[in-house]
Amino acid sequence: MEDQKEAVRDVLDTHLFVRATDLLTKVVAASKGNGGQIFWITLQREFHSTSVKTVLAIASKLGVTYPIGLLTEALFTFFSFHSQ
């Protein structure tokens, strides 16, 4: 499972681009843990929907088949990393 998570993160790092400044304007709320790492992001509804659809389209175009939950988890890990 960890190998799949890493593979999905690699796909997103290679094929998804979101400017950090644009991403930050779409964040409604975020939560940080004691170590300062973001562990939860609430995005504007329209941006959330578009982002998930984009990730599904990327996966489809590349012919990769991962569970949707894994793709969305990787997407929000991507957002957490790129919004800091």
pLDDT at 61 over 80: yes
d(CA 58, CA 70): 14
Q: What is the pLDDT of residue 32?
A: 86
Record the pTM.
Answer: 0.78
Q: In sequence order, what E strands does the chain have?
A: 27-32, 38-43
Q: Taking the CA of residue 56 as centre, how many other CA atoms within 13 Å lie in the half-sphere pointing to its CB?
A: 9
**19-58, pLDDT tens digit by residue?**
888 888 998 988 888 988 777 888 999 999 999 999 999 9
DSSP 65: -
